Amino acid sequence: MKSISRIAAVAVLLSGSLMLQGCLVGAVVGTTAAVVGTGVKATGAVVGAGVDAVTTSDEETRAKREREQREWEREQRRCEQRQRQGKRC
């Protein structure tokens, strides 16, 4: 009888330890996934900011075109003034 109870106790301990290993593995995997997920989100934010920095929106393109147009018109007025004074542009 003692040997049967010992065998049963060992079986319970072994099965319990196997179940706990599953819990530990699940906890480690869950923690790792959370850490990796956070890293991916941070990397995505950095990449997104980098893409925004090197791409030009339609509004930015329009503003640049308008700025260049104003500079060209300003230079044309200066040139006309110089020509009226008899100077070259």
What is the pTM for the complete model shown? Answer: 0.38
Whether pLDDT at 27 is above 70: no
Per the CB < 8 A criterion, the answer to whether 89 and 82 are in contact is yes
Per the CB < 8 A criterion, the answer to whether 89 and 83 are in contact is yes
Structure tokens at 1: 């009888």
Most confidently modeled range among 4-13, 47-56, 80-89: 80-89
- Mean pLDDT confidence for 51-66: 83
